[in-house]
Amino acid sequence: MRSHAKNNKPKTMNITITTPLYYVNDKPHLGSTYTTIACDAYARFHRLNGNKVNFITGVDEHGQKIQRTAELKKISPTKHCEKISMEYKALWKQWSISNDFFIRTTDSHHQTLVNQFFERVKASGDIKLGHQQGWYCVGCEEYKDLPKDAIKPTCSIHLKELEWRDEENLFFCLSKYQKQIESLLEREDFIQPASRRNEIINFVSKGLNDFSISRLNVEWGLKVPGHEGHTFYVWFDALLGYLSALIPDDKDVNLSEIEQYGWPAYIHIIGKDILRFHAIYWPAMLLSAGLELPKKVYGHGFLTREGQKMGKSIGNVLDPVFLINKYGEDAIRWYLLSDFKFGQDGDFQHKRFVDLINNDLANTIGNLLNRTTTMTRNWYEDKVPRNNQENPTNELKDLANKTIPKVVNYYNDLSFKEACSEILNLASTANLYLNNIQPWKLIKESSNKDIVAFHLYNVLETTRIVGILLKPILPNLSSKILNQLGYNNQAQNWNDDLKWGKLLPSSSLPSPCPILYKIED
């Protein structure tokens, strides 16, 4: 009988991850940067685990708010969108964002897809012509639930007077999908974190109302086929960018083939303020069009600054371009992902930021690397020492092997803070190990050279594993650490790289170079 070797290789998955499509009424801010960095870390994690990743980000470029913003600047909406979209692209490159797709809703193939999707929804009997009146916020692009006789009402978010609207709109029959949305929300893993799920369940329990998907007399938008004067409501248009992003430029748009390009989304990672659109409206639209639903929607918290909401009016907005130019991407990425529990609100505190970067990255991880490689280069001819000890107790190896699965599970659950804590604990323990062993004393006796080699190899190998575990959140710092260790395999696949002992004895250690400087301000 012919035998077959057992295949223990982990099964790979097709993972489509999305940020929101950011609205280009203004330049990128720290909130959108935070979301994108988190998505980037998650995408990198899945690639390191051998999965095929489609990481989508992009911009939403239509609507009356953009039209008016362009008018104020005395430029065309096209020029305004081009400028802001390029700012997003440039910023994501500066932050080492590894997106596979960048969709602009002004792309021609997006228009084609929106028209195809609309015809599908229309064929399902889910489009009706109706009348809508109420107080409307151009900034929010939505009607507010206020009485008609309200006197000069203002938007609580934009602090601007609302406009009274009374117009004919096309409506999507959301109410038709009440039962199906309720069933979807019974899945505990569809909306995360759990607190957000409860908010949406409460909203749906009050009954879903049909919502308008078109606007009249808005020039800057996609025209609704067969309905003169109507343009698509920006949310109907923008959500479809998750589909159009996946279609290669050299392929014809065909919704029937969308699944072969990576749909459905594995996860939408968004701010909690737009959760309702993604967890209710979007699934209902997909059901109507006969397409598969996303697997998860994750609504994370907001960022504040020194306990205050960030806003232009009080002048405390943190500019991501200023931050990266002043402190570098490693410092900001570490602070945002290690100090704030992902899913909850986070408060950017400057003193804490400086303290964390100096203590975690410079004093703990940077110092571990520098002191260990310096001792090794001095005592073992610039090479990784060979371990000649026979099966001694190896506490660092044991801790590393316990830490690795914890970090992997935390990354998988988007628990970045917890993952960072485990990595930092491994580095701190390695520093303590050195302090306890005191190899600088042991090496004075030539008979101790082998035992010192054993200890230094343990710390070097622990540092290598720290560097690899940092790869999703700090890709550049990780590469610097691995380069300093002479480890040429730059952590492309965790299944192999996270095994203890991959740092080969006699490998050359390059000349030392600082991987990160302390923040002095």
Mean pLDDT value across the chain: 91
Q: In terms of Cα–Cα distance, which of 118, 123, 121, 147 is closest to 135? A: 147
Cis amide prior to 264 (ω within 30 degrees): yes
Same-domain pairing of 235 and 193: yes
- The DSSP code sequence of 44-84 is HHHHHTT-EEEEEEEEE--SHHHHHHHHHHTS-HHHHHHHH
> Any idea what the CATH number is for the domain that residue 446 is in?
1.10.730.10
Neighbour tally for 339: CB within 10 Å: 18
Q: In terms of Cα–Cα distance, which of 272, 307, 90 is closest to 191? A: 272
Same-domain pairing of 138 and 221: yes
Residue 6 is predicted with a pLDDT of 43
In the DSSP assignment, the letter for residue 318 is P
Mean pLDDT of 251-255: 94
> Any idea what the CATH number is for the domain that residue 52 is in?
3.40.50.620
Residue 7 has pLDDT above 50, yes or no: no
How many whole angstroms separate alpha carbon 63 and alpha carbon 218?
7
421-456 burial code (b ≥16 CB/10 A, e <16): bbbbebbbbbbebbeebebeeebeeeeeeebbbbbb
Residue 396 is predicted with a pLDDT of 95
Same-domain pairing of 297 and 334: no
Q: In terms of Cα–Cα distance, which of 226, 368, 265, 363 is closest to 54? A: 265
Q: What tens digit of pLDDT does each residue of 368-411 get? A: 999 999 999 999 999 999 877 666 779 999 999 999 999 999 99
How many whole angstroms separate alpha carbon 110 and alpha carbon 146?
35
Same-domain pairing of 141 and 267: yes
**Is there a contact between 275 and 297 (Cβ–Cβ < 8 Å)?**
yes
On whether residue 4 sits in a domain, the answer given is no
Q: What tens digit of pLDDT does each residue of 205-229 get? A: 999 999 999 988 888 999 999 999 9
Domain containing residue 192: 14-301
Global pTM reads 0.93
Radius of gyration of the chain (CA): 27
Which residue among 282, 301, 320 closes a domain?
301
**Is there a contact between 383 and 509 (Cβ–Cβ < 8 Å)?**
yes
Portion of the chain with pLDDT greater than 70, in percent: 96
Q: What tens digit of pLDDT does each residue of 159-213 get? A: 778 888 888 899 999 999 999 999 999 999 999 998 899 999 999 999 999 999 9
On whether residue 505 sits in a domain, the answer given is no
- The DSSP code sequence of 188-200 is TTTEESHHHHHHH
Neighbour tally for 25: CB within 10 Å: 20
Neighbour tally for 28: CB within 10 Å: 22
Ranking 423-432, 483-492, 510-519 by mean pLDDT, the lowest is 483-492
Q: What tens digit of pLDDT does each residue of 421-463 get? A: 999 999 999 999 999 999 999 999 988 999 999 999 999 999 9
Same-domain pairing of 61 and 100: yes
Q: In terms of Cα–Cα distance, which of 424, 392, 505 is closest to 457? A: 505
On whether residue 384 sits in a domain, the answer given is yes
On whether residue 393 sits in a domain, the answer given is yes
Residue with tokens 């490689």: 373
Same-domain pairing of 344 and 205: no
Same-domain pairing of 195 and 139: yes
On whether residue 49 sits in a domain, the answer given is yes
How many whole angstroms separate alpha carbon 219 and alpha carbon 272?
30
Return the bridge partners of 271, or none: 300
Residue 10 is predicted with a pLDDT of 53
Same-domain pairing of 83 and 198: yes
Would you put residue 350 in left (φ > 0), alpha (ψ -120 to 50) or beta?
alpha
Structural tokens at position 47 = 């690639």
How many whole angstroms separate alpha carbon 52 and alpha carbon 266?
11
pLDDT band at 309 (very low <50, low <70, confident <90, very high): confident
Same-domain pairing of 194 and 266: yes
Same-domain pairing of 173 and 64: yes
- Measured between alpha carbons, how far is residue 96 from residues 91, 248, 443 in Å? 9, 23, 42
Same-domain pairing of 158 and 103: yes
Residue 311 has pLDDT above 90, yes or no: no
On whether residue 434 sits in a domain, the answer given is yes
Mean pLDDT of 312-339: 89
How many whole angstroms separate alpha carbon 521 and alpha carbon 516?
15
Number of separate domains in the chain: 2
Structural tokens at position 403 = 């830490």
**Is there a contact between 481 and 364 (Cβ–Cβ < 8 Å)?**
no
Beta carbons within 8 Å of 248's beta carbon, 6+ residues apart: 261
Neighbour tally for 391: CB within 10 Å: 5
On whether residue 503 sits in a domain, the answer given is no
On whether residue 284 sits in a domain, the answer given is yes
Same-domain pairing of 374 and 424: yes
